[in-house]
Amino acid sequence: MIMAVRKIITLGNPILRQKAQPVSKITKSEQNLIDDMVETMEENEGVGLAANQIAVPKRIFVARWEGETFAIINPVIDWKGKEMVKGMEGCLSIPGIQAEVNRHLKIRVKGLDRNGKPIVLEPEGWLARIFQHEIDHLDGILIIDRSDQLFWVTTEKDEEGRERTRLVPTTKSAIIASFQKIKSSVRK
């Protein structure tokens, strides 16, 4: 089995804003895609990755939490607990940004596993957050759409030379403009 690390697309690529298409038949191609997604997620030190983040507009996501790896095809959240919790999230498609996002603490997700067998999962806490984040991606929704509490993540050295991470408040329009500027400078 040959796995490949795929290129993660970033904010400004229109595929990120499209609703991913349901998978009608699971073939070796989808299974290879899942393997590549896991490899890509791990290489980029992520905890989740949606297929459209690697420019494949299919309703598939992978996640890893506490040593367990998940691959869900055609996921649907069919129940959400009432309790909401705020937490900081980053995104491989918007590097250098974090957002404080309000999510359901518990959800139930139905879908198919990598072999096409129906599955039902009831994640809670951070795993529920990861699933909601990835399903948002499959619906063309990004963390900058879910929060007004947006931050640039910067690293600075203090007087003793130790690196310190700092969150600098920003806005959705500033983030979008910054990524447009990056894209246009790459094209030149």
Q: Show which residues are catalytic.
A: 134
Q: Select from 139, 146, 46 the least CA-distant residue to 104.
A: 146
Q: How many residues does the chain have?
A: 188
Q: What is the DSSP string of 27-47?
A: -HHHHHHHHHHHHHHHHTT-S
Strands (E), 38-83: 48-50, 60-65, 68-80
The one-letter amino acid code at 76 reads V
* Spatial distance between the Cα atoms of 13 and 63, rounded to a whole number of angstroms: 22
Burial label, 94 (beta-carbon count in 10 A; 0-12, 13-18, 19+): buried
Radius of gyration of the chain (CA): 17
The bridge status of strand 150-157 relative to strand 163-170 is: antiparallel
* Spatial distance between the Cα atoms of 170 and 97, rounded to a whole number of angstroms: 9
CB 89 within 8 Å of CB 98: yes
